[in-house]
A = this chain, B = another copy of it.
Amino acid sequence: MPSKLSQEIAPFFVMDVLERAKEIEARGNSVIHFEVGEPDLPTPKIICDEAIESLRGGDTKYTPSLGIPELREAISEDYRRNYGVDISSTRVVITMGSSPALFLTMASLLDPGDEVIITDPHYACYPQIINIAGGVTKRVRIYEEEGFQIDINRIKKAISTNTKAILINSPSNPTGAVLEPQIMTEISDLGLYVISDEIYHGLVYEGKARTIYEFSDKAFMINGFSKLYSMTGWRLGYFIAPEDFIRPIQKLQQNLFISPNPFVQRAGITALNSAKTKVKEMVQIFGKRRMRMIEGLRELGFEIYSEPKGAFYVFVNAKRFGDNSYDLAFNILEKAQVAVTPGIDFGYGGEGYLRFSYATSMESIDEGIKRLKAYISNKGGI
């Protein structure tokens, strides 16, 4: 019989939506995809070319377990350039995506029963990753009316003697919120380890996201190439840890993963050093789509208290349609042929909400909004 832990993992409800969407498409009907969490844009050619060259050069063997030194240095330099922080490349660990980076963070940090505070709503996988590493998740609500920012007093109330860390995610999936610097200071001042998931850094359309290392050094920082460089399938991530964690992390990595892929790492070096212009173009494209999506959702009657400033999601309150976001997502899919992610996937604090991703073309956004307009008017408005 499968382990209790593996049986009890909550499924992603959006996968059911996706599966049903594929059935509808298989019958020859078009579906607009607002549920996807990956950029539609191709990986920039210069990055692919580097991987190809590396493959041609026979770069197909194990690398050092923590990653190729040049890539670790390029990441250290990237953080210096972007945020003015001085992080030694010896603290950078290359991983096969940011998910394994999160797991290695948790496994190197948590003893059985240690608690990690996360927000609710939150990225769907956090509680499972914490759980698999033997930790316990404590959720602290964040609210639309507060711009999905974190209220430090609610955090303080959640802290117990078992609390080891607080996990933040700015810009956030699913809310798109960028944490205010004042709040990052307050969180750092708690004296707990801060785990900062910065995977959506760079995808910010107003202001700028700040790295945790501007505020605290007692911190883990998770990042990767999937979102900003449109490299989801490549499975290339990284994280930065306090110096005394590096050796334990290296042993975990050697045993669980051996080393990351060499030609994918080479491509990562090129991404950091030579793809900035291309990335800027992509961010501009997302920026325009964001405006269109926000505008469209407002036209539909959704209230957006504070506009999401980063990532590529708009998280809207759809409670006037009913409290069950799963049923609602299915209803919208069946009636309007628009796929969206039910808020329940992001925790109970997300129930009654829907996540709209604008990682899709402007034409699709227009068409999706049009379909939703008809859907809502058939229902007699919001």
List chain A positions with a Cβ less than 8 A from chain B.
Answer: 1-7, 9-12, 15, 38, 42-43, 48, 51-52, 55-56, 58-63, 96-97, 99-100, 103, 107-111, 114, 125, 128-129, 132, 134, 230-235, 244-245, 248-249, 251-252, 254-264
Decide if B251 touches A233 in the complex (CB within 8 Å): no
Decide if B63 touches A256 in the complex (CB within 8 Å): no
Decide if B6 touches A251 in the complex (CB within 8 Å): yes
Q: Name 12 extra pairs, CB < 8 A, besides A3-B114, A6-B108, A48-B60.
A: A2-B249, A3-B110, A6-B245, A38-B62, A43-B58, A60-B232, A96-B257, A99-B258, A103-B256, A128-B251, A132-B255, A233-B259
A128 vs B232: C-alpha distance when bound (angstroms): 29
Decide if A9 touches B255 in the complex (CB within 8 Å): yes
Task: Specify which chain B residues have a CB less than 8 angstroms from the CB of A59 in the assembled complex.
Answer: 233
Decide if A261 touches B261 in the complex (CB within 8 Å): yes
Given contacts A2-B108, A6-B107, contact A233 B255 (CB under 8 A): no
Chain B nearest CB from A169 CB (Å) reads: 15
Chain B nearest CB from A113 CB (Å) reads: 11
Task: Specify which chain B residues have a CB less than 8 angstroms from the CB of A231 in the assembled complex.
Answer: 60
Decide if B255 touches A128 in the complex (CB within 8 Å): yes
Chain B nearest CB from A356 CB (Å) reads: 19
A51 vs B9: C-alpha distance when bound (angstroms): 34
Task: Specify which chain B residues have a CB less than 8 angstroms from the CB of A108 in the assembled complex.
Answer: 2-3, 6
Decide if A55 touches B52 in the complex (CB within 8 Å): yes
Task: Specify which chain B residues have a CB less than 8 angstroms from the CB of A259 in the assembled complex.
Answer: 233
A52 vs B255: C-alpha distance when bound (angstroms): 29
Task: Specify which chain B residues have a CB less than 8 angstroms from the CB of A5 in the assembled complex.
Answer: 107, 111, 134
Q: Which of B42, B48, B100, B233 contacts A257 (CB 8 A)?
A: B100
